[in-house]
């Protein structure tokens, strides 16, 4: 990713550009579990700003239904384990 900035009009944490010049939106979640319904907002935001990819970073984990649903979407899921987090907030 080559450029990054906050994009508050859509309550995004970050909009950046990948090496190919495509916009990528980034959202962060601090809850212990991120469910499928939480993945729908980043996809809508992608359309609003013309991004081709999304990344959802969660401190905790993703539900099974979220992981399955994301397989067919242009969204990358990064969970707490991948980030090296030891335990979710409040856990």
DSSP state of 25: E
Strands 53-58, 23-29: pairing is parallel
Q: Is residue 27 part of a domain?
A: yes
Over residues 41-53, the pLDDT tens digits come to 888 888 888 899 9
**Chain centre distance of CA 61:** 12
What are the pLDDT tens digits along the chain (91 aa)? 444 445 555 667 888 888 999 999 998 888 889 999 989 888 888 888 889 999 999 989 999 999 999 999 999 999 988 888 655 555 5
Q: Is residue 32 part of a domain?
A: yes
Structural domains counted in the chain: 1
CATH code, 50:
3.40.1350.10
Residue 36, φ and ψ in degrees, nearest 5: -55, -40
Question: Looking at the whole model, is its pTM more than 0.85?
Answer: no
3-state secondary structure of 43: helix
The boundaries of the domain holding residue 23 are 3-83
| Of 34, 33, 32, nearest in space to 91 by CA | 32
| Of 35, 42, 44, nearest in space to 69 by CA | 35
Q: Is residue 65 part of a domain?
A: yes
């Amino acid at each position: 990713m080559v450029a990054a900035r906050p994009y508050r009009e859509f309550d995004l944490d970050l909009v950046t550009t990948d090496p190919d010049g495509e916009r990528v939106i980034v959202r962060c979640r601090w809850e212990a579990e991120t469910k499928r319904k939480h993945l729908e907002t980043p996809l809508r935001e992608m359309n609003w700003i013309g991004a081709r990819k999304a990344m959802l970073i969660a401190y905790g984990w993703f539900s099974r239904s979220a992981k399955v649903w994301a397989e067919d979407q242009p969204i990358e899921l990064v969970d707490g384990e991948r980030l090296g987090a030891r335990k979710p907030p409040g856990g």
